[in-house]
Amino acid sequence: DLGSPLANTRLYVLGPDAEPVPYGVTGELYVGGAGVAHGYLGRPGLTASRFLPDPHGPAGSRVYRTGDLVRRSPGGALEFLGRSDSQVKLRGHRIELGEIEARLVRHPAVAQAAAAVRGPEGDRRLIAYVVPSGAAPSPEALHALLAATLPAAVLPGAYVVLDSFPLTPNGKVDRAALPAPEPARTEPAALPPDEELDPVGAAVLAIWREVLELEDLTPDEDLFDLGGHSLTVTAIAARIHDRLGTVVPLDVFFDTPTARDVADAVRALREEQP
């Protein structure tokens, strides 16, 4: 909670269009009023980007663009979520790393949290890192915490528990030094006999293996635990449509991310077709 503004000070929570965002929605904090300086001494470029005309104040007044990401509670209090320079774009979605981190530390077993994007171009994933306050929380518990309030497309692809975070010389979390997550699979699981899978199940499993490039993948393995993401989902859905003639809504993959469950969805969708 950032508290209340000083007298003769205006606090705005604005979106990219410089318009106020609704309560509960993340925006950038702008400060206006009598206490706003004229700019940075000898730094005209930075002054121009940070000290702007006040779009909602008296004519001629100015605001300071803080770079802080905040949101207002229902009672009007401001909650700090992170810095706008920790904003990343991943597969077409803009993700506030600070917001992910702020939500993770709400878990009673999490003392510190960090988020970072890892992986090569074309296969980058959002990874969440936590330092526990005691017993380490399970990845499932952390995922459920975030999934309750965030869209599936911006959820982390893996959760890593660390004893402490690497720090930069000025004491901030060194995101670049955060370790890559361990591979989700260490031993291939035993495959069920082929005769246990009907034609739909076998076709969906074959598509899963092709797209993820895992020949020993089994019907009950979680797509996202294996490194899948929204582009993977799109590729799988396209092949299911091409080969089985069924359009599977993308949210099915996020809600039930195994080949077996998606095969069940394909059968159900076929039964609904006239």
Closest residue by Cα to residue 65 from 37, 87, 44: 37
Please compute Rg for the chain using Cα positions.
23
**What is the overall mean pLDDT for the chain?**
80
Domain 87-161 coded CATH 3.30.300.30: yes
Per CATH, which fold does 199-272 belong to?
A: 1.10.1200
Q: Which residue has the higher pLDDT, 122 or 134?
A: 134
pLDDT band, residue 268 (cuts 50/70/90): very high
Q: Is the confidence at residue 186, as pLDDT, over 50?
A: no
Q: Which residue has the higher pLDDT, 264 or 102?
A: 264
Of the two residues 216 and 179, the one the predictor is more confident about is 179
d(C-alpha 51, C-alpha 64), whole Å: 5
Assigned CATH for 9-83: 2.30.38.10
Q: Is residue 185 scored above 70 in pLDDT?
A: no
Q: Say if residues 71 and 24 touch (Cβ distance below 8 Å).
A: yes
Tens of pLDDT, residue by residue over 47-66, are 676 788 888 888 888 888 88
Q: At a CB cut-off of 8 Å and minimum separation 6, what does 84 contact?
A: 28, 67, 68, 69, 96
Q: Where are the domains of the chain?
A: 9-83, 87-161, 199-272
